[in-house]
A = this chain, B = another copy of it.
Amino acid sequence: MPSTDPASPTDRTTALSPTDRTALGRHSERGKAERRELYDVLDAGVICHIGLLMNGAPRVLPTAYGFDPDGPDQGGTLYLHGSVAATSLRAAPEQEMCATITHLDGLVLARSAFNSSMNYRSAVIIGRPRLVTDPAEVTLGLERVVDQVCPGRWAALRDSTRKELAATAVLALPLHEASVKVRDAEAGDDASDVEANAVWAGVIPVSVQYGAPVANSDCDLPVPDHVQARVS
């Protein structure tokens, strides 16, 4: 349920981690405090992994997402979509779920297995999603998902048909209860391992690359600017 006045944009400096569940245990020094940093992690991604209970056991599924920092839910709104026929989405509004967005930024090769690590940015959002029923918000949610994948794409597409909308479920997860964790550093080795100077240590940077667009076999139109912009 919307719990803040949609006319009041979310304060991006609001503290994250308002509950015990999103307080970091291990490596709490990697935690980020500001809501703005959650939006930064969301901004940079294309897929999230959602966690749901299915017949009492956790299931983790990759899916697209979109978000609106000023959406109607407390802290803003994460939008998820799927077929109305998808078991996972049908079950979702009746239970708590988790959505995790992870960017792998580097392989941290320390001099020992124990100190080996990764550089990453990850956001964990916990909450009870609502099924979006307002037609305007359904459309907005789908627009957010489409434009998260390729900014500017939504404006290039025809309107969704009634039949398509009837076949699509949109879920809204509040961004209120969330944590952000970032590691961005070189390897941290034991002094004795550094002194031994026996093993190379460092970071292999990891990034996501978007390659040159490949037109459909049934399409002879030129690559539009919004697609080119995603790649550049």
Taken together as a complex, chains A and B put the C-alpha atoms of A212 and B210 apart, in Å, by 18
Chain B nearest Cβ from A162, distance in angstroms: 11
Of all A-B residue pairs in the complex, the 3 with the closest CB atoms, nearest first, are A205-B211, A51-B58, A51-B60
Query: Beyond the given A49-B49, A109-B213, A200-B221, could you list 18 further A-B residue pairs with CB under 8 A, ordered by the A residue number?
Result: A21-B54, A21-B57, A58-B59, A59-B124, A60-B124, A61-B100, A109-B150, A112-B157, A112-B158, A116-B146, A116-B149, A118-B149, A156-B199, A197-B219, A201-B218, A203-B214, A204-B214, A206-B208
Chain B, residue nearest A127 (CB): B57
A47 and B199 form a contact (CB under 8 A): no
Taken together as a complex, chains A and B put the C-alpha atoms of A198 and B221 apart, in Å, by 8
Does A160 lie at the interface of the complex (its beta carbon under 8 Å from any beta carbon of B)? Answer: yes
A58 and B52 form a contact (CB under 8 A): yes
Does A64 lie at the interface of the complex (its beta carbon under 8 Å from any beta carbon of B)? Answer: yes
Copies of this chain assembled into the complex: 2
Q: Dominant SS at the A interface? A: mixed
Does A83 lie at the interface of the complex (its beta carbon under 8 Å from any beta carbon of B)? Answer: yes
Taken together as a complex, chains A and B put the C-alpha atoms of A86 and B187 apart, in Å, by 21
Residues of B contacting A212 with CB < 8 Å? 205
Residues of B contacting A83 with CB < 8 Å? 26
B199 and A158 form a contact (CB under 8 A): yes
Chain B, residue nearest A57 (CB): B96
Chain B nearest Cβ from A107, distance in angstroms: 5
Residues of B contacting A122 with CB < 8 Å? 62
Which residues of chain A in 152-166 are interfacial with respect to chain B, using CB atoms and an 8 Å cutoff? 153-154, 156-158, 160-161, 164
Chain B nearest Cβ from A186, distance in angstroms: 5
